[in-house]
Amino acid sequence: MKVSILVVEDDKAIRNFISATLDIHSYNCFTAENGEQAMILATSHKPDIIILDLGLPDIDGVDIIKKIRAWSNCPIIVVSARSEDKDKIEALDSGADDYLTKPFSVDELLARIRVAIRKMNYDNTKKEESTEFINGDLKIDYVSGCVFVGKEETHLTPIEYKLLCLLAKNVGKVLTHTYILKEIWGGAYESEVPSLRVFMATLRKKIEKNCEKNTYIQTHIGVGYRLVRIQY
């Protein structure tokens, strides 16, 4: 069954370009040129993935993300000419899964779609009450509170363990500094970001110490972090 993708873009040339690209690569694509159309199609067609431009003529893209997140967890990839970090952060904090800045290449767009599909497949197959998380050589045993890389147990501090569990819960998704700080420490202050970077650096060293082929934690400079889904 083809993956269905809703493309929301007010620029006709870009909308047709994305649509044609998706058709060539065997995706089931349908389009909307404004926010009102997007909401109608999103609720009636229930797409697997949404590609969303933030600068729509009638409704701001961030508001659309918030509306969709009220009833759907489908991956949302934002494409926008807004390149400021604050715009990326606002979109991601509102519920977007990924962000592409215009202009972007076809290969980059298709790669982001493949990531979204892997996340979608993982979300559909994982058990609601899973007792463990496995990603490549990384394993979290939620019952014992232990973390393993390969067959060796990796000792984490309580904060490092909470950070890893948060990333694992949202594997494949970019988590902003603000979101992480609120989830782990209960508040989000700009002054705490350097401390977060230190914790993430030590966590990365521990879980990637003996893994030459895997980079688990991906840094999005000025925005946040993503736990990469490892495919063998």
pLDDT of 127 > 50? The answer is: no
Residues 139 and 217 in one domain: yes
Residue 182 domain flag? yes
**Mean pLDDT value of segment 122-149:** 79
Q: How far apart are CA 94 and CA 88, in angstroms?
A: 10
Q: Say which residue, 163 or 82, is predicted with more confidence.
A: 163
pLDDT band for position 128 (cuts 50, 70, 90): very low
What's the token pair of residue 164? 């890893």
Residues 28 and 59 in one domain: yes
Q: How far apart are CA 36 and CA 9, in angstroms?
A: 12
Which residues, at least 6 apart from 108, have a Cβ–Cβ distance to it below 8 Å? 100
CATH code of residue 137: 1.10.10.10
Tell me which residue range forms the domain holding 196: 132-227
How many Cα atoms within 13 Å fall on the side-chain side of residue 116?
25
Residues 209 and 140 in one domain: yes
Q: How far apart are CA 3 and CA 36, in angstroms?
A: 23
Q: What's the chain's average pLDDT?
A: 89
The DSSP string of 146-174 is EEEETTEEE---HHHHHHHHHHHHTTTSE
| Domain final position from 100, 125, 150 | 125
Residues 115 and 170 in one domain: no
Residues 59 and 153 in one domain: no
How many structural domains compose the chain? 2
Angle in degrees, 0-180, between the axes of helices 177-185 and 158-169, rounded to the nearest 10: 130
Residue 85 domain flag? yes
List pLDDT tens digits, range 181-213.
988 888 777 788 999 999 999 999 999 875 555
Residues 57 and 117 in one domain: yes
Residues 15 and 101 in one domain: yes
Residues 55 and 144 in one domain: no
Whole-angstrom distance between the N-terminal and C-terminal Cα of the chain?
23
Residue 232 domain flag? no
Instruction: Classify 215 as helix, strand or coil.
Output: coil
Per-residue confidence (pLDDT) for residue 164, from 0 to 100: 96
Per-residue confidence (pLDDT) for residue 123, from 0 to 100: 67
